[in-house]
Amino acid sequence: MSTAVASRTRGDDHPAVSGRGSLAAYLVAFALVGLCLAPAVYIILGGFRTNSQIIRSPAGLPDPWEIGNYIGVLTGEVFWQQLANSVIAAVGTTVGVVVLGLMASFVIARYPFKAKHLMYSLFAAGLMFPVTVAITPLYIMVRDLGLTDTLAGVILPQIAFAMPTTVIILVPFLRAIPKELEEAALIDGASRLGFFVRMVVPLSLPGVTTVGILAFVASWNSYLLPLFLLSDNDLYTLPLGVQAFATQYSVDTARVLAFVSLSMIPALVFFSIFQRRIISGLTGAVKG
């Protein structure tokens, strides 16, 4: 996160470029943005076309504009059901990561006991185990706990896999809270727990927001885990649902595009609201 601060304060004092260099820079930037957005635009516009339009001219524009595909998806139950499942999974994961991560990080950051280094190393070691490596036995574990085909069975492992990054981001944050503040609170009669609830939680809000947003985005896009753990169509989150929809309506391309673009929109809206935090969080998480 230090990098984000640095970028904001330093950002504007770079030398301006003028003349040809600047024109070339704009052209390259423009082409780049175009390439990055083209597939998303193709998906969104494709949803406004009919299948015969798509067959006649695969890369054309809607002519005439056809909103039937979007209406069809929006008036069906499948999309809303899957949207709700995705929201539940993402919110559950985010809340869980924030609460459990903040409490564990607080202990590691501010309680003097020997095992805390061990605890930190344990969480940090988790960085080396991506979901891919653990997914097969994880499926067995979740099944034996009776949690397959429940959203809790997706949420709990997602919390667990988000813990390493969370702890690594939050511990330095919590360590930075001045000791004097804690002493003052203790003198005023607050317990250590009271200090945690009343002082630490509000003070660590920026770090918590970053961690929460990262967990939310990861859950929203998560595919492998729900693929293993959810077989009940009614519990499908959007990534699983999008794939199932595309298979089911493989001949109805326009409808698939409408479904795909509708399921893309929540993530894009979320990103446009929190883009600063997402970007600084990701670069901060990497650079420390």
Subset of residues 157 to 196 that bind other proteins, contact rule: CB under 8 A: 157, 159-161, 163-164, 167-168, 172, 192-193, 196
In angstroms, give the least distance from the CB of 71 to other proteins: 21
| Tokens linked to 250 | 């493989």
Interface mask toward other proteins for 247-266; x: CB under 8 A: ------x--xx--x--xx--
By CB under 8 A, residue 20 contacts other proteins: no
Buried b or exposed e, range 100-112, using 16+ CB within 10 angstroms: bbbebbbbbbbee
Interface mask toward other proteins for 202-241; x: CB under 8 A: ---------------x--xx-xx---x---------xxx-
Q: Judged by CB under 8 A, which stretch of 75-83, 129-137, 181-189, 203-211 contacts other proteins?
A: 129-137
Q: Distance of CA 233 to CAs 237, 240, 252, Å?
A: 9, 9, 20
Dist. CA 138–CA 153, nearest whole Å: 10
| Tokens linked to 65 | 């504009």
The amino acid that residue 244 corresponds to is A
In angstroms, give the least distance from the CB of 280 to other proteins: 8
Dist. CA 197–CA 202, nearest whole Å: 8
By CB under 8 A, residue 285 contacts other proteins: yes
Which C-beta is closer to other proteins: that of 72 or that of 135?
135
In angstroms, give the least distance from the CB of 150 to other proteins: 14
The CA-based angle 151-123-214, given to 5 degrees, is 55
In angstroms, give the least distance from the CB of 205 to other proteins: 18
